[in-house]
Amino acid sequence: MVATTEKSIHVLKEGHVTSPNGFSAGGVHCGIRRSKLDFGWIHSNTPATAAGVYTLNAFQAAPLKVTKESIEKEKLIQTVVVNSGVANAVTGKQGYADALEMQKLAAEKMGVDVDHVAVSSTGLIGVPLPMEKIHTGIQSMENPDCYSAENFEKAILTTDTVTKHMAVQVEIDGKTITVGGAAKGSGMIQPNMATMLSFITTDAAVEHDSLQQALKDVTNKSFNMITVDGDCSTNDTVLVLANGQQNNEILNKSHPQWPLFLEAFQLVSEGLAKLIARDGEGATKLIEVNVKGASTEVAARQVAKAVISSNLVKTAVYGADPNWGRIVCAVGYSEQPIDPDKVSVSLGDIDVVEDGLPLDFDEIEGKQYLENETVQLVINLKDGPYEATAWGCDLTYDYVKINASYRT
Amino acid sequence: MVATTEKSIHVLKEGHVTSPNGFSAGGVHCGIRRSKLDFGWIHSNTPATAAGVYTLNAFQAAPLKVTKESIEKEKLIQTVVVNSGVANAVTGKQGYADALEMQKLAAEKMGVDVDHVAVSSTGLIGVPLPMEKIHTGIQSMENPDCYSAENFEKAILTTDTVTKHMAVQVEIDGKTITVGGAAKGSGMIQPNMATMLSFITTDAAVEHDSLQQALKDVTNKSFNMITVDGDCSTNDTVLVLANGQQNNEILNKSHPQWPLFLEAFQLVSEGLAKLIARDGEGATKLIEVNVKGASTEVAARQVAKAVISSNLVKTAVYGADPNWGRIVCAVGYSEQPIDPDKVSVSLGDIDVVEDGLPLDFDEIEGKQYLENETVQLVINLKDGPYEATAWGCDLTYDYVKINASYRT
């Protein structure tokens, strides 16, 4: 959660992945998808310190392997190329060779070191990367008309209905540091990353190990706390690039203003994560689950995830049915140490359960609250000091519609 | 899975919970639900050796505690009383007192020892048990007109659309032993038990500890392998009563024909579990996931559960979309040791993935296969000798409809 120093962080009105200095981005239709943009890129004027986190799915897609291996070499990325429509997952040796080829072609086109190129794909599993079309996309990287953050943000989408972007600014050591980001994700969204891609940029100079640790910590409190449908994809990736264009003293964990940088990073990640949850396939509402009073951090997170992942809770919110029994039930099966006689539940400000017993509340008021576009479910376990927040969306007819006919 | 000796087991054409000798059952409308039957009972002529397994949900409902405590005393149950409409869960001390009262009233009415009565409830969470109506229900236990297995099987239903019952016969020591059962469950169905009640009866004499262990083993391969929506309820219970009316030599683990009895028990449990999965809320199809070649039993079970629980797999089956990528994806996030390069997947007899790579298959044929009412997804991990089967259903518009308006 973003803490009290938030005031010192300025959220840009129109923030993008290109808001930090020295980043450009673009996108085109290269022909993988029927008519929508399907190939995009981010480019930094100079190689940027880079860190990544990747899906834990055993069928990790080829581009993730290529990107991971490249970052491991020099911890630097200058160009990121992304296609949508085809995930290049479950494609074997050919898929790996194709991802390498995509990387090499982009490096040649942009005149950067091949290991400074990250590649990323999202879309159908098990379909070979159409290399001719990828080639067409890469050709467009020399065309100034294709450059815009919006083009990039559109090019990475699949079943998403809106682009997802954000940027914030903070003062560090007298320099204005900007953190920006763009993300995609709508289905196959689940804690531990899912068909979710997120690219975060900053013009701060940041030491690599601190950046990698920060990415892990921030991801655990943002992207790993969202769920749309409980399915964890083969391609999830969050990349962060820090190009140091503001010439600040290199930031690391020991820097006195590190917490402020972390907060800016968290704010962008959390913002993008919530945009993904709100744009969940078929969703009409954003659901936020706050768990308080847990005996451990794991318990707080697991209880929040159990509730946000419950199909019964999600359908109850869709139908604006204040059926708190389903919330309590999900708390109970979270497999965490819970004292049922201490648990309290509120729908926003409406208390519905206290110390494990139902309260008399106004059902109409409860129903009205659940008709809001953002719904908060608060669970207090009264068993310790730990808290966690998870985000998700309601489960609707349209979720079924979208997923019963994704390909056909 | 039921093995090759199945031939020696005779499945009764019209099998019920009362098919074994010495069991009667009944049900009435006592007024908890609007018009449907909502109070039922099973009665054995003599106290039966009893064993139970219960939900792992931390909010275990009051009747489960009462039943568990009673069985622990003498390991005997003669009468089971069940109401639907109200779960008597999250009802605190009053709920526990109400469950005890329901037990006491039933014992008095039937003239049996109070500790020989099991109580069970299913329905809304957090609503007090309407004791006057329960009393009305118990009064009906003296009315011969209310007795029939069908009445009982109807009285325990909630969102179920059909009753679920089955019975089989085997010869053991020259005696005909019958195992029968009735179950309910449609939503909140998930491995580890969910709003699922199942009552299994047999006229065999069975030693208690062997019966308890058998129940646990059989449940793990039947009721704990079904999922409708991943929600594990507060009330799940499987009870087995063995009244010994066939005067067989008491069966235990050392009896040479114990495996045959186990098989009959498994067959009834698996049959009821599949009936529950097929009647999942809004379901149009039964999905069976067979996992073969796993390196451990846990891996086999977890992979099967990951696939059967995937909303994306469930919607793909609903839409008859042979999108095997979603199956592979779920295998990948099952958090089990898997070698992606060995995994094969078939839709029924249609091979779609071999050694981690897509096969060229006829998409139309795949689509046609998925239009069957029973769909089999076969996953071979080629990594060991272990197998597991899980059952579930497709995710449809009607699931959302039912659950967005359960109470209102």
Q: What is the CATH number of the domain that holds B109?
A: 3.60.70.12
Q: Are residues B302 and B335 in the same domain?
A: yes
Does the beta-carbon distance from B59 to A192 stay under 8 Å?
no
Q: Are residues B256 and B295 in the same domain?
A: no
Last residue of one domain, picked from the residues A223, A254, A278: A278
The three-point CA angle A179-A142-A132 to 5° equals: 105
Q: Are residues A211 and A129 in the same domain?
A: yes
pLDDT, one tens digit per residue, over B52-84 is 999 888 888 999 999 999 999 999 999 999 999
Catalytic residue among B55, B163, B195, B219: B195
CA distance linking residue B92 with residue A264, whole number of Å = 45
Minimum CA–CA partner of B355 in chain A: A92
CA distance linking residue A129 with residue A97, whole number of Å = 10
Report the pLDDT value the prediction gives residue B59, as an integer from 0 to 100: 86
Q: Are residues A384 and A254 in the same domain?
A: no
| Range in A49-63, A354-368, B101-115, B178-192 with the lowest mean pLDDT | B178-192
Indicate which CATH number applies to the domain containing A336: 3.10.20.340
Report the pLDDT value the prediction gives residue B3, as an integer from 0 to 100: 43
Q: Are residues B400 and B268 in the same domain?
A: no
**pLDDT greater than 50 at residue B355:** yes
User: Which residues, including other chains, have CB under 8 Å from residue B108's CB and lie 6 or more apart?
Assistant: none
Report the pLDDT value the prediction gives residue A232, as an integer from 0 to 100: 59
- Token readout for B180 is 């029968």
Q: Which of B343, B285, B334, B279 is nearest to B307 (CA)?
A: B334
- A367 in a known ligand binding site: no
In a domain, A5, yes or no: no
Active site residue A176: no
Which residue of B235, B403, B408 is the best one to mutate when testing the A interface, meaning the one whose CB has the most A CBs within 10 A? B403
CA dihedral B188, B306, B60, B216 (to 10 degrees): 110
| Residue A130 CA: distances (Å) to CA of A95, A135, B128 | 10, 9, 61
DSSP state of B4: G
In a domain, A4, yes or no: no
Position of tokens 């204005």?
Answer: A176
Report the pLDDT value the prediction gives residue B2, as an integer from 0 to 100: 41
How is B325-377 classified by DSSP, letter by letter? HHHHHHHHTS-S---GGG-EEEETTEEEEETTEE----HHHHHHHHTSSEEEE
In a domain, A364, yes or no: yes
Q: Are residues B18 and B148 in the same domain?
A: yes
**pLDDT greater than 60 at residue A373:** yes
Q: Region A350-370: what's the mean pLDDT?
A: 94
**pLDDT greater than 80 at residue B194:** no
Contacting B residues, span 3-62, partner chain A, CB-CB under 8 Å: 55-60
Report the pLDDT value the prediction gives residue B228, as an integer from 0 to 100: 59
Q: Which of B42, B46, B96 is nearest to B69 (CA)?
A: B96
Question: How much of chain A, in percent, has pLDDT values that exceed 70?
Answer: 93
Does the beta-carbon distance from A231 to B312 stay under 8 Å?
yes
Q: Which residues of B touch A129 (CB under 8 A)?
A: none
Q: Are residues A256 and A315 in the same domain?
A: no
Q: Which residues of B touch A55 (CB under 8 A)?
A: 333
Q: Are residues A101 and A243 in the same domain?
A: yes
In a domain, A93, yes or no: yes
| Range in A24-28, A250-254, B33-37, B274-278 with the lowest mean pLDDT | B274-278
User: Which residues, including other chains, have CB under 8 Å from residue B194's CB and lie 6 or more apart?
Assistant: B55, B185, B188, B228, B231, B232, B233, B236
CA distance linking residue A107 with residue A393, whole number of Å = 39
- Strand segments, DSSP code E, in A115-269 are 117-124, 164-172, 175-185, 196-202, 226-227, 237-242
Q: Is the ipTM of this complex over 0.90?
A: no
Q: Region B280-296: what's the mean pLDDT?
A: 92
Q: Are residues A305 and A222 in the same domain?
A: no
Q: Are residues A185 and A220 in the same domain?
A: yes
- Strand segments, DSSP code E, in A258-315 are 286-294
CA distance linking residue A375 with residue A287, whole number of Å = 5
CA distance linking residue A322 with residue B407, whole number of Å = 9
Q: Which of A83, A134, A85 is nearest to A105 (CA)?
A: A134
CA distance linking residue B387 with residue B385, whole number of Å = 7
pLDDT, one tens digit per residue, over A119-151 is 999 988 889 999 999 999 999 999 999 999 999
CA distance linking residue B50 with residue A224, whole number of Å = 45
User: In whole angstroms, what separates CA A135 from the centre of its chain?
Assistant: 28
pLDDT: is B187 or A166 the higher one?
A166
Last residue of one domain, picked from the residues B228, B246, B278: B278
| Residue B139 CA: distances (Å) to CA of A283, B40, B143, B406 | 49, 12, 8, 30
Q: How far away is chain A from the Cα of B313, in angstroms, using its nearest Cα?
A: 9
Q: Are residues A251 and A371 in the same domain?
A: no
pLDDT: is A287 or B403 the higher one?
A287
Which residue of B54, B56, B60, B90 is the best one to mutate when testing the A interface, meaning the one whose CB has the most A CBs within 10 A? B90
Give me the domain span that covers residue A359.
286-403
Average pLDDT, chain A: 91
- Token readout for B395 is 């995710």
Count of domains for chain B:
2
Position of tokens 């190129």?
Answer: A117
Q: How far away is chain A from the Cα of B246, in angstroms, using its nearest Cα?
A: 40
Does the beta-carbon distance from A405 to B319 stay under 8 Å?
yes
Q: Where are the alpha helices (DSSP H) in B178-294?
A: 208-220, 258-278
Q: Is A313 exposed, middle or buried (0-12, 13-18, 19+ CB in 10 A)?
A: buried
Report the pLDDT value the prediction gives residue A404, as an integer from 0 to 100: 80
Q: Which of A77, A94, A244 is nearest to A175 (CA)?
A: A244
The answer to whether residue B316 neighbours chain A at the CB level (below 8 Å) is: yes
Per the CB < 8 A criterion, the answer to whether A209 and A37 are in contact is no
Q: Are residues B384 and B311 in the same domain?
A: yes
Report the pLDDT value the prediction gives residue B404, as an integer from 0 to 100: 80
Last residue of one domain, picked from the residues A226, A246, A278: A278
Per-residue pLDDT band for A190 (boundaries 50, 70, 90) equals very low
How is B302-325 classified by DSSP, letter by letter? HHHHHHHH-HHHHHHHHTT---TH
Element (H, E) at B72: helix B62-74
